[in-house]
Structure 1
């Protein structure tokens, strides 16, 4: 999904740069409400994990490979605002030090991999959290489905950007088929990794999972009410 320099024209790259800058600025303000003594250390670990995981590519067929995007995973673990910052920092380091993505395409990559995947992933997770049973096992399931949906969503947004400012002589229908087709398969890998990581954290320290806090608060309240009823 990392977009290289020159793949989109200058006006489109500039527009996505403005969107990315605005998104990061809003996330900086929002993260102040999310970061606490539990979330702040977790955010550093999440950024490190996403950076390392994006270095690992897995084959999806026909010489194509994919890697973790990490937006939904980060959102579930540390909250959506902090997740945008974590993934954006990863993309900045990759562009500056590893030539993964381009400098002029950094705004595009932040928009796609940080803003879109986090927004879609978190929104999907919140909806599923309300629908699924109120139990810890529901959190990894919701996170996995959210991660799966976030990947082709980012691919679809990229297709729209390419339709507006694409510089490669490729038919748009081919771009749509390739992006959605391959990123649906990549989404399966994203879902598997996200579900396993969230399940691992939930099994040991569920209090560190930002997305699980409402569920844990309800369960704690239910336990207290049950104990109070038994005592009376």
Structure 2
């Protein structure tokens, strides 16, 4: 971006060296440069990777998904001595949050849901496309996603590696991530040990699929199970 000095440098030879004229141009150029910087910062504030609060809500209007949940998500508030809702698992309840469950998503979770909506908006309806979209959604949090299609009008979505938070799991099994063909039932499974692949036979882990055998992987459990039991970190 041009600086005020760049504009001052364009003064013609007739006016160059005139202090008052140069000062006038300097003042006008400073105002113009600051205005350009302000406009540039507004654009950057709406970048989905860094937007927060009201800016993220505007992103949601463009994308087509609000941060509010129609049905309160129960069982995700932080709690002592409750499996799956301890440190870095449960969501802190604010002073004005509903006692029945979460209806307004925090910025980080809302950002993930917006990424899910973006992926769904461009999804081609195929299993491979859904796997790619889910991988895009969970990119950066250490969760590896894969999909199996047994050709019986169901699909199995497996989550290995880092176990997502309780709120993300509730959003996933609640159907808020719209990556499911019509008429197809989805079964969700995730690793029971955070950071590990899912146990399974006849699938080479070396091919990048997060399934491994004895002494290498953890048992697969359902998200509902993960929300009601302590999983080994």
Structure with higher Rg: it is: 2
Structure with the bigger percentage of strand: 2
Please, what TM-score do these two structures have when normalized by structure 1? 0.27
Structure with the bigger percentage of helix: 1
